[in-house]
């Protein structure tokens, strides 16, 4: 358990005793954006040991070579902490336990997971049956669409070892699909999330679980996604395919929507009846002539709703799209074009997170150059208006080694309230290249908190909940949903940066059924569990 002595540098706040609904006292984004635009903490690296925000850590405890399709986080050993899993081509899954602090231990994956190697193309982690144990959907390659690559669903047995539970005739196997991961989302009113399976040049699929059995609900997807030739199962020329996605409740109606991306974009609005409606044409999003490597969602301008950031790898560059949705319409307006941040590089994937704990979302982008050679990654500081400033030199953590990059996960590995970074490589046919996994510890002077939510009556991991945290920085808003990175997805704890404030703070959870619950956080620099029906958050060891 981490021991945190009192921090005499932070500003003591009076407990916010006014009604939570008096949001005018804490205007969304105002104080935060002003702080960023004024340049407060622009030179935080000057006061850090070693001079950079991110410092290398635990490198000798993590795999350094191999060919992979990225990695994911899920609690496999049942100790209450999310473990690190990396899926290999032709090798069994790598499994690493976070021991507390910034230490990892390699576990014998044969004691926990199916003990054989195969062509893994992404892991989707979620307790889909809401039994308190994490499950894993495993995407498998299909010999470029010419063979069979049945996907798998790993669930723990009573003795704790995971096994594939899909029968031979299960639609979830999707044997002809060229797997590129999957994502869990809440489509209807029950507590079980649906599964969207993504494929390269083969159909996107949608599956439902009713608490007892699975069914194929791909028919509710717009026809453009489902259209494919019957004789080969391959998309016709000119019909779009999707290999990445992002989930979010962009219209704040309590139902999750989804953006599918790859060869093009398709924005699907949840119509609250178990179906998805194509909302792309009226959304304002640019959809023609682009190839999207990653789609991200977060409150980039701190106005209380989720915006989009699209990472293009065909033209290169990045662009923010600011949310203007109202009523039954999903609508975004163009935000800043961030091409100048990556002028000579091809983005591969990206992640959002408040790395410096100033209350604003920052950006990490994984890069290669125009020839596909690894180059240093980008770190950009959020300015609170949808724009970002390059701080790569000051913040560090840009990746080492020459393993071609796959993705990046911001995680609070040591539960000290700030986001560390796990970089994952192994892309392509170069398993001998070093630098497969690189971990960086966060040395931010300001602190934050991470929150795990629990309300199993409504959903696993608190999915679908909306959390507002109030401080003198302003109001920060986060949503609990499945997060994707390079063909892998999981549900991570929420993170809030709180700079130099000490607290205590009040927050409010709006659960997916619309009920509201207030809670209190006594201090920063910690991780908490917020359970349904409890006012005081539980600090996690």
Give the CATH number for residue 394. 2.130.10.10
pLDDT in tens, 146-155: 566 799 999 9
Torsion of CA 306, 450, 247, 166, to 10 degrees: -170
Domain assignment present for 32: no
Whether residue 455 sits in one domain with residue 373: no
Give residue 227's pLDDT band: very low, low, confident or very high (50, 70, 90). low
Whether residue 486 sits in one domain with residue 417: no
Please tell me the total count of domains within the chain. Answer: 2
* Pair of tokens at residue 448: 């934050």
How high is the pLDDT of residue 437? Answer: 93
Domain assignment present for 29: no
Domain assignment present for 493: yes
Give residue 27's pLDDT band: very low, low, confident or very high (50, 70, 90). very low
Whether residue 208 sits in one domain with residue 90: yes
Nearest 5°: phi and psi at 496? -130, 125
How high is the pLDDT of residue 221? Answer: 83
Give residue 283's pLDDT band: very low, low, confident or very high (50, 70, 90). very high
Whether residue 506 sits in one domain with residue 392: no
Question: Following DSSP, what letter does each residue of 139-153 receive, concatenated?
Answer: EE--GGGTS----EE
Q: Span 229-242, mean pLDDT? A: 49
Domain assignment present for 406: yes
Whether residue 158 sits in one domain with residue 143: yes
For residue 38, pLDDT beyond 60:
no
**How far is residue 320's CA from residue 386's CA, in Å, rounded to a whole number?**
6
Tell me how crowded residue 38 is: count the other CB atoms within 10 A of its CB: 9
For residue 40, pLDDT beyond 80:
no
Q: Span 17-44, mean pLDDT? A: 47
Residue where a domain stops, chosen among 416, 442, 468:
442
Torsion of CA 59, 65, 70, 73, to 10 degrees: -40
Whether residue 347 sits in one domain with residue 460: no
Residue where a domain stops, chosen among 412, 427, 442:
442
Whether residue 502 sits in one domain with residue 433: no
Whether residue 215 sits in one domain with residue 109: yes
Question: Following DSSP, what letter does each residue of 31-94 receive, concatenated?
Answer: HHHHHHHTTTTTTGGGGSGGGSSEEE--GGGS--S--EEEEEEE--SSSSS-EEEEEEEEEPPE
SS (H, E, C) 432-447: CCCCCEEEEEECCCCC
Give the CATH number for residue 489. 2.60.40
Residue where a domain stops, chosen among 442, 473, 489:
442
Domain assignment present for 2: no
Domain assignment present for 21: no
**Domain containing residue 513:** 447-539
For residue 205, pLDDT beyond 60:
yes
Whether residue 453 sits in one domain with residue 353: no
- Burial letters for 510-540: b for 16+ Cβ neighbours within 10 Å, e otherwise? bbbeeeebebbbebbbbbbbbbbeeeebebb
Whether residue 121 sits in one domain with residue 68: yes
Whether residue 246 sits in one domain with residue 350: yes
Whether residue 504 sits in one domain with residue 382: no
265-270 and 276-278: which strand pairing? antiparallel
255: three-class secondary structure by DSSP:
coil
For residue 518, pLDDT beyond 60:
yes
- Asked if residue 82 lies in contact with residue 74, where contact means CB atoms within 8 angstroms, the answer is yes
* Pair of tokens at residue 113: 């997971």
Domain assignment present for 473: yes
For residue 1, pLDDT beyond 70:
no
448-454 and 526-531: which strand pairing? parallel
Straight-line distance from the first to the last Cα atom of the chain, in angstroms, rounded to the nearest whole number: 5
Domain assignment present for 8: no
């Amino acid at each position: 358990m981490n021991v945190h002595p009192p921090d005499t540098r932070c500003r003591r706040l009076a407990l916010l005793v006014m009604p939570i609904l008096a949001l005018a006292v804490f205007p969304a984004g105002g104080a935060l954006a002003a702080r960023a635009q004024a340049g407060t903490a622009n030179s935080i690296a000057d006061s850090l040991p070693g001079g950079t925000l991110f410092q290398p850590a635990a490198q000798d405890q993590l795999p350094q070579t191999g060919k992979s399709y990225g990695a994911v986080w899920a609690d496999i050993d049942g100790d209450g902490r999310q473990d690190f899993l990396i899926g290999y081509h032709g090798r069994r899954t790598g499994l690493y336990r976070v021991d507390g602090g910034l230490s990892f231990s390699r576990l014998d994956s044969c004691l926990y997971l199916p003990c054989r190697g195969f062509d893994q193309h992404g892991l989707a982690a979620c307790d889909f049956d809401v039994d308190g144990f994490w499950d894993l959907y495993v995407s498998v390659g299909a010999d470029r669409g010419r063979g069979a690559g049945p996907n798998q669903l790993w669930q723990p047995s009573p003795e704790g070892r995971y096994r594939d539970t899909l029968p031979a005739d299960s639609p979830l196997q999707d044997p002809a699909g060229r797997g590129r991961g999957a994502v869990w989302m809440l489509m209807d009113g029950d507590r079980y999330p649906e599964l969207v399976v993504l494929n390269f040049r083969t159909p996107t699929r949608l599956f439902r679980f009713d608490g007892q059995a699975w069914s194929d609900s791909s028919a509710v997807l717009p026809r453009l996604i489902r259209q494919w030739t019957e004789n080969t199962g391959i998309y016709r020329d000119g019909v779009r395919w999707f290999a990445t996605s992002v989930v979010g409740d962009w219209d704040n109606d309590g139902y999750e929507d989804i953006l599918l991306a790859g060869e093009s974009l398709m924005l699907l609005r949840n119509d609250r009846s178990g179906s998805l409606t194509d909302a792309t044409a009226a959304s304002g999003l640019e959809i023609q002539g682009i190839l999207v490597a990653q789609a991200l969602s977060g409150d980039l301008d701190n106005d209380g709703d989720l915006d989009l950031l699209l990472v293009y790898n065909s033209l290169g560059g990045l662009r923010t799209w600011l949310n203007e949705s109202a009523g039954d319409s999903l609508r975004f307006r163009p935000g800043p074009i961030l091409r100048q941040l990556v002028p000579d590089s091809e983005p591969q994937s990206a992640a959002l997170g408040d790395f410096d704990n100033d209350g604003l979302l920052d950006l990490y982008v994984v890069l290669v150059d125009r020839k596909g050679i690894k180059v240093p990654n980008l770190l950009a500081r959020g300015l609170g208006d949808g724009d970002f400033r390059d701080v790569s030199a000051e913040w560090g953590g840009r990746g080492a080694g020459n393993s071609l990059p796959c993705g990046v996960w911001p995680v609070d590995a040591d539960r000290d309230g700030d986001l560390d970074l796990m970089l994952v490589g192994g892309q392509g046919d170069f398993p001998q290249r070093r630098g497969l996994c690189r971990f960086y510890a966060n040395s931010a002077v300001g602190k934050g908190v991470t929150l795990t939510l629990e309300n199993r009556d409504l959903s696993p991991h608190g999915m679908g909940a909306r959390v507002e945290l109030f401080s003198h920085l302003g109001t920060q808003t986060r949503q609990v949903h499945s997060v994707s990175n390079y063909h892998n997805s999981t549900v991570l704890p929420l993170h809030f940066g709180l700079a130099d404030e000490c607290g205590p703070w009040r927050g409010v959870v709006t659960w997916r059924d619309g009920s509201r619950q207030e809670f209190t956080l006594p201090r920063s620099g910690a991780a908490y569990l917020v359970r349904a029906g409890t006012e005081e958050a539980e600090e996690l060891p």
